[in-house]
Each structure stands twice: as structure tokens, then as C-alpha cells.
């Protein structure tokens, strides 16, 4: 008998990964039940002293208790009821506990060895604790154990580039969106003689104004959408002290807690993988505009300076 406790830290465990694990658990129970049925047929012609079993009196357990955000709970004791509930109410799941177990007997004549295995899974939105107990005399649950470990090992990191570089990503997208309206606004201001003369005094005033206004406009136009996409992805805040000059408390991202926990795609985390993907797609899309926008800013800066000095 050997035991293992698996703690999942800084990982994103998708609902697809969970579904695959649960489906394999069910398939394995059915596979052993079929083997048990075949061995029963093969052994029924022999007296007990001459019987050979690898899975005599097999009992497979797949049991789950769900707790939902509406303060209701439900317990199911078979896979079919479980998977229907899981798929239909995944957004409502606050946490869930799964008991997966085998018990059977290996029999060769009068020699008998009773075998038990189990995997208990406590699944929350931000952590997944797994307790494993496998009888080393038989390895029938080993494949499920390995599948769980492989899924965890290959799962993407929670503290990924989308989270680490979110300020840069937000600024990049905001700038790209705000450049054109900023150029239009500041270029139209050149109609005013006084502003036109001010533009002509230096090459840096106009481009600096365009950049600052672009960030402001981009933040107003797109900031709300990005905040919504990041709302269930970013770390929680922790108290970091008090700023006496500003007269307010300071809060920073709790990175330590963030990387010590995980993101399990149930409940409020449903859709987080798609949100990450959308953020990266937006960054890629708007980043491609920036080189062209910079060229336009340079050209327009030269033009407004020349125009300002000609007046």
C-alpha cells in the first residue's frame, strides 16, 4: 500500500481536463466490471478450490457531493448523474468532493488477497487537494493516478504572461486604440493660431501630447472591457502599508498567495481560459497597429511644426 497527497499550485486546471479525468474513472470501473463478469462465467464451473480470480466481488465507487453558490448541495453516487449535474451547473459550483474507490479480491484457489484503492478529490475554485491510496499488490488504479498527475504537470501556469504583464498589455492596447482620435483632436487644434504657433516652437510638444491623450482616450474607450476580462484572473490585493502623505492605505497584488493556489475552472472561474485567450488576441491585434501609428505620429509632428513656423 502506498499513499500520496497531491497539492495543485500555480496551475490552471480546465473543465476539459476534469471531464477527461472523470470519464476515464468511469471507463475504468466499467472495464473492471466487465472483467469481473467474464471471470464469474469462467469460474462458475469450478469448485472454489480451483477458481482463479483477478477481480472477485468487485465494487466500484464513484460518488460526488456538490456545494453550490445558492447554498444548496447535492450528492450523487453514480457517474451518469454526476456528469449531468457537472455539465449543467458548472457555473454554480462552489466546491465539490469526489470519492473514487475499488474493492475486490484476488483469488487463486484457497489463497485470497483483499484489495482496496481510493482517490479522494477536494475541488475548489482556487485549489484542488487529492488524496491517493493504492494497494501495491495490484495496479488497477495506477492509470487513473498517472492521468491525474500528468494533467497537473502539463497544465499551464496560473501566474502567466497575461497576469504578469497586464499593465503593459493594457497600456499597449489603450495606446493603439487612442492614437488616431488623439491625432485628429490635436491636429484640429492646429487651426487655432496660438496653438499652431506653440506647436512650431518645438518638435516634442505635439508627439508628447498625442501619446498622453492616446493613453487617456484608450483607457476610457477600452478600459472597462479589459477590467472585465481581468476581473476573475488577477491576484487578490493585500495590505502593504499606509501612505501618510496621501492619507490612504496601500494595497498590492498578493503574488505569494496567487502562485501558492490554482485556478480550477468551475464556478466563477468558468470562462477564464477564454478571457485569457481574448486578452492575448487583443494584444496581438492592436500591437500590430503601433509601428504604423508611430510613423504617423512622427510625420504629423514634422508637419505641424513646419506649419507652426510658417505662420
State pLDDT tens for residues 85-143: 999 999 999 999 999 999 999 999 889 899 999 999 999 999 999 999 999 889 899 99
Instruction: Write down the pLDDT at residue 303.
Output: 87
Whether residue 142 sits in one domain with residue 177: no
Whether residue 6 sits in one domain with residue 147: yes
- Domain count of the fold of the chain: 2
Confidence of residue 192 (pLDDT cuts 50, 70, 90): confident
Last residue within a domain, chosen from 134, 154, 174 = 154
Whether residue 13 sits in one domain with residue 128: yes
Whether residue 104 sits in one domain with residue 215: no
pTM of the shown model: 0.86
Last residue within a domain, chosen from 154, 183, 209 = 154
Residues 50 and 109: beta-carbon distance below 8 Å? yes
Which residues face 249 on adjacent strands? 242
Residue 305 has pLDDT above 70, yes or no: yes
Mind giving me the DSSP string for the chain?
Answer: -EEEEEE--SBEE-HHHHHHHHHHHHHHHHHHHHHHHHHHHHHTTS-GGG-EEEEEEEEEEEEEEEEETTS-EEEE-SHHHHHHHHHHSGGGEEEEEEEEEEEEEEEETTEEEEEEEEEEEEEESS-EEEEEEE-TT--TTHHHHHHHHHHHHHSPBSS-HHHHTHHHHHHHHHHHHHHHHHHHHHHHGGGSHHHHHHHTT-SSHHHHHHHHHHHHHHHHHHHHHHHHHHTTTSPPEEEEEEETTTTEEEEEE-HHHHHHS-EESSGGGTTHHHHHHHHHHHHHHHHTTHHHHHHHHHHHHHHHHHHHHH-
Residue 253 has pLDDT above 70, yes or no: yes
Residue 240 has pLDDT above 70, yes or no: yes
Instruction: Write down the pLDDT at residue 110.
Output: 85
Whether residue 174 sits in one domain with residue 143: no
Tens of pLDDT, residues 36-77:
999 999 998 888 888 999 999 999 999 999 999 999 999 999
Q: How far apart are CA 103 and CA 32, in angstroms?
A: 11
Average pLDDT, the chain: 92
Whether residue 254 sits in one domain with residue 169: yes
Whether residue 183 sits in one domain with residue 78: no
Whether residue 150 sits in one domain with residue 10: yes
Residues 251 and 237: beta-carbon distance below 8 Å? yes
Confidence of residue 83 (pLDDT cuts 50, 70, 90): very high
Q: Tell which wins on pLDDT, 174 or 2.
A: 174
Confidence of residue 1 (pLDDT cuts 50, 70, 90): low
Instruction: Write down the pLDDT at residue 311.
Output: 59
Q: Percent of the chain having pLDDT more than 90?
A: 74
Q: Per-residue pLDDT averaged across 143-166, rounded?
A: 95
Whether residue 209 sits in one domain with residue 139: no
Torsion angle of the four alpha carbons 221, 223, 224, 227, in this order, in degrees rounded to the nearest 10 = 160
Whether residue 150 sits in one domain with residue 6: yes
Confidence of residue 205 (pLDDT cuts 50, 70, 90): confident
Confidence of residue 157 (pLDDT cuts 50, 70, 90): very high
Last residue within a domain, chosen from 115, 131, 154 = 154
Whether residue 176 sits in one domain with residue 85: no
Whether residue 301 sits in one domain with residue 176: yes
Instruction: Write down the pLDDT at residue 299.
Output: 92
Give the count of alpha carbons within 13 A of 275, CB side only: 22
| Domain range enclosing 182 | 161-310
Q: Tell which wins on pLDDT, 226 or 245.
A: 226
Q: Tell which wins on pLDDT, 168 or 4.
A: 168
Q: How far apart are CA 142 and CA 135, in angstroms?
A: 10
Amino acid at each position: 500500500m502506498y499513499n500520496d497527497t497531491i497539492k495543485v499550485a500555480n496551475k490552471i486546471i480546465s473543465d476539459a481536463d476534469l471531464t477527461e479525468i472523470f470519464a476515464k474513472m468511469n471507463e475504468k470501473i466499467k472495464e473492471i466490471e466487465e472483467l469481473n463478469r467474464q471471470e464469474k462465467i469462467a469460474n462458475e464451473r469450478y469448485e472454489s478450490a480451483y477458481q482463479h480470480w483477478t477481480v472477485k466481488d468487485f465494487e466500484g465507487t464513484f460518488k460526488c457531493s456538490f456545494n453550490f453558490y445558492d447554498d444548496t448541495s447535492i450528492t450523487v453516487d453514480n457517474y451518469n448523474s454526476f456528469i449531468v449535474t457537472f455539465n449543467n451547473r458548472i457555473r454554480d459550483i462552489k466546491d465539490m468532493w469526489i470519492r473514487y474507490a475499488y474493492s475486490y479480491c484476488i483469488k487463486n484457489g484457497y489463497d485470497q488477497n483483499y484489495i482496496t484503492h481510493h482517490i479522494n478529490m477536494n475541488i475548489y475554485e482556487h485549489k484542488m487537494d487529492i488524496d491517493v491510496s493504492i494497494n501495491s499488490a495490484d495496479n488497477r488504479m495506477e492509470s487513473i493516478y498517472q492521468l491525474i498527475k500528468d494533467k497537473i504537470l502539463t497544465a499551464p501556469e496560473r501566474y502567466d504572461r497575461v497576469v504578469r504583464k497586464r499593465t503593459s498589455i493594457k497600456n499597449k492596447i489603450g495606446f493603439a486604440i487612442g492614437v488616431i482620435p488623439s491625432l485628429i483632436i490635436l491636429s484640429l487644434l492646429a487651426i487655432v493660431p496660438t496653438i499652431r504657433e506653440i506647436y512650431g516652437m518645438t518638435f516634442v510638444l505635439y508627439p508628447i501630447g498625442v501619446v498622453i491623450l492616446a493613453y487617456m482616450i484608450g483607457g476610457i474607450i477600452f478600459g472597462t472591457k479589459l477590467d472585465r476580462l481581468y476581473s476573475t484572473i488577477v491576484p487578490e490585493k493585500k495590505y502593504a502599508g499606509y501612505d501618510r502623505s496621501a492619507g490612504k492605505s496601500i494595497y498590492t497584488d498578493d503574488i505569494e498567495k496567487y502562485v501558492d493556489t490554482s485556478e480550477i475552472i468551475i464556478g466563477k472561474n468558468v470562462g477564464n481560459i477564454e478571457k485569457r485567450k481574448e486578452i492575448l488576441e487583443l494584444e496581438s491585434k492592436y500591437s500590430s497597429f503601433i509601428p504604423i501609428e508611430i510613423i504617423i505620429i512622427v510625420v504629423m509632428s514634422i508637419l505641424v511644426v513646419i506649419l507652426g513656423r510658417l505662420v
